Chains A and B, each alone.
Chain A
Amino acid sequence: MKTLALTTLLLAAAVIAPATMAADGGPVFNGARLNGWELNSKNFNGISLQGPVLQGLTLNGPVLQGLTLNGPVLQGLTLNGPGVVFQGLTLNGPGLVLQGKFLQGVHVNGVARSHSPLSGIALSSVRVQLRK
């Protein structure tokens, strides 16, 4: 079993269920807020994961150094491939898939925080339920 440096994971503790270990040794976080995550890496140094809603994400290292993922809503994100280096990566946004080698210093959607987590929502698509 691999041991992860979980102290480097700045997880939103209140919303994360206890981690269990996957068959390949990587951690799988199953909880209300990190449901479906799978993180496999020998090096999680510098990774920051901040919810809410970091759902459906798979990270496969090795070397995911300097990665920052900020919610809300980073749903359906996939980072794949042995030997991939995701160093200095900043990700804000849903539905993204990154596959390749040496994606170093790549910034997707700007700074290391999702400032406008929901943008351009069509008003006609919103249903409102009032509390009486």
Chain B
Amino acid sequence: MRTLAHVLLLGLLFALPAAGADLVGGLRVEGTRFVLPDEEGRLLTGGDLIGAELDIGPVGVIRIDAIERDSGARFDEVWLHTLQLRTPGSMVFSNFCTPDPYGDTRAVVYPGYFDEALRYVPDAARFSFSCVSGVEAKCLRWGYLPWRTAPNTGESLAPYYETCIRLARADYLGDNRPSTRDGTSIDVYDRVGVQQRTPGLDMRFEAGWNTSGAVCVHHTRIPANLTLAALRARRGGRALPGLGDTCNEHQAQADGALLYNRSRG
């Protein structure tokens, strides 16, 4: 009986929320951080929210275990969240994200979302999570923050963020058919002051990009996944000005590229 009582007590402890915990609303996302007003009107953010549990209904409960500024991000305003997920009916939390090639399971939160056509929707009433293994997080960390303006030109970076998604996934035709492989290194750069070419890399010009995909392609990133000939066949009647040696950075710029990349290919 004593053992049974212990089991019942243990079950009760698991079933109840922690003593003194509050359920509050008013959550919002500013940049890559949650902001939450407390009962006294103070704004909680960053480390204030460590340990907070976000109840997202049928998805489950997400617990924030750690929040830290991303020291590797292009701009000093990206925060990385260590998250745990507990699904409905379970009492066990586990990593929200699958690890990237370096074992990193942190995530970035950002306002808005991508629609089915992979267009970024800056909806302040909604937010999304992207694990660091994901292109949405990568592009934010590279500096293509859609709510920011470009250092050199002052133009919005929103189209650059959409373009970065196409580029990072090697979605040449912008038809949501990525051809890259997890863990593949590329060199991303632009002409608006966010990313520059990285010297000393054994890479060559791959493609120029805009929000619709590649404006021209010198070579495909992972030929085992997609060859230039297969891309040519896939393109059908759609316009894609240059494939192969006719595509270079100068041509891509003339064709309206926002971003450029190099790869080993």
Contacts and interface: CB of A to CB of B under 8 A. Distances in A.
A71 B23 contact: no
B21 A129 contact: yes
B31 interface: no
A52 B131 CA distance: 13
Nearest to A111: B178
A54 to B, nearest CB: 10
Interface string A41-71: 0000000001111010000000000000011
Interface residues of A, number: 40
Given A33-B94, A107-B177, A118-B59, A72 B85 contact: yes
A52 B93 CA distance: 10
A105 B21 CA distance: 48
B54 A126 contact: yes
B23 A115 contact: no
Contacts of A124: 25, 125
Contacts, number: 153
Nearest to B57: A125
Contacts of A53: 60, 85, 87
B77 interface: no
A119 B129 CA distance: 6
A110 B55 CA distance: 27
Contacts of A14: 94
B56 A128 contact: no
B12 interface: no
Contacts of B38: 130
A127 B98 CA distance: 24
Interface string A89-132: 00000000000000000010011111111111111111111111
Q: Please give me the 7 A-B residue pairs with the lowest Cβ-Cβ distance, nearest first.
A: A115-B134, A131-B51, A120-B113, A119-B128, A127-B55, A132-B20, A129-B53
Interface of A: 12, 14-15, 32-33, 35, 50-53, 55, 70-73, 75, 107, 110-132
Interface of B: 17-18, 20-25, 27-29, 36, 38, 44, 49-60, 62, 85, 87, 89-90, 92, 94-98, 112-114, 121, 123, 125-131, 133-137, 169, 176-178, 180, 182
